[in-house]
Amino acid sequence: MPRTKQKDAEARVFLRRYLKRGRKPRNEVIEAAARAGINRHTLEKASREIGITKRKGTHPEFGQCSYWRIEAASDARPAGARPSRDRLLEAYSKGYAACAKDAMHAVRSALSAIAMDDENRKLLMNRVFNAIERECKSTQYRVDLVEKS
């Protein structure tokens, strides 16, 4: 049966009602939706449309699982609102650090494929890693300057 606007609306209403009292394990939400005649694909689409927050956690009965939670009106940012400056700087720093780790791994892999003796490989790797580390510290310094201003 093709998905209709009515089915989508039913799924959104279902999620709002089912999650209004707090977070629920994902599997529990999907099973309850199936009992209500809402298929998984429609439920997933509705969850994206109304901004369901999905996080991993530990359930006393199921162990590790994914939780769904609907944001309270006070939690939600207004449409078009920008995240705070602190959150942007934090995300930038984390992204840059992850990028640096990836770069180091890529360099290590590339150097291990080149035919050279171990002493020269070690010397070259140290120089590249030091350059990457200097750039990371420089970026952190720039982030610190922006935070102070």
Other CB atoms closer than 10 Å to residue 126's CB: what's the count?
Answer: 10
Tell me how many degrees the CA angle 125-131-134 measures, rounded to the nearest 5: 135
pLDDT of residue 33: 92
Contact, 47 vs 68, CB < 8 A?
yes
Question: 99 to each of 84, 104, 140, how far by Cα in Å?
Answer: 23, 9, 13
Tokens of residue 144, six digits = 């610190």
Of 132, 127, 68, nearest to 103 by C-alpha is 132
Helix (H/G/I), strand (E/B), else coil: 107: helix
pLDDT of residue 32: 92
Q: Which residue reads 């920008």 in tokens?
A: 82
Q: Which tens digit of pLDDT belongs to each residue from 61-84?
A: 767 778 888 876 444 555 556 667
pLDDT of residue 74: 45
Contact, 64 vs 26, CB < 8 A?
no
Can you tell me the distance from the alpha carbon of 77 to that of 51, in angstroms, rounded to the nearest whole number?
11
Q: Which residues in the chain come in under a pLDDT of 50? A: 1, 73-75
pLDDT of residue 31: 92
pLDDT of residue 1: 44
> How is domain 5-70 classified at the CATH fold level?
Arc Repressor Mutant, subunit A (1.10.10)
Q: What is the pTM of this model?
A: 0.47
Can you tell me the distance from the alpha carbon of 15 to that of 8, in angstroms, rounded to the nearest whole number?
11
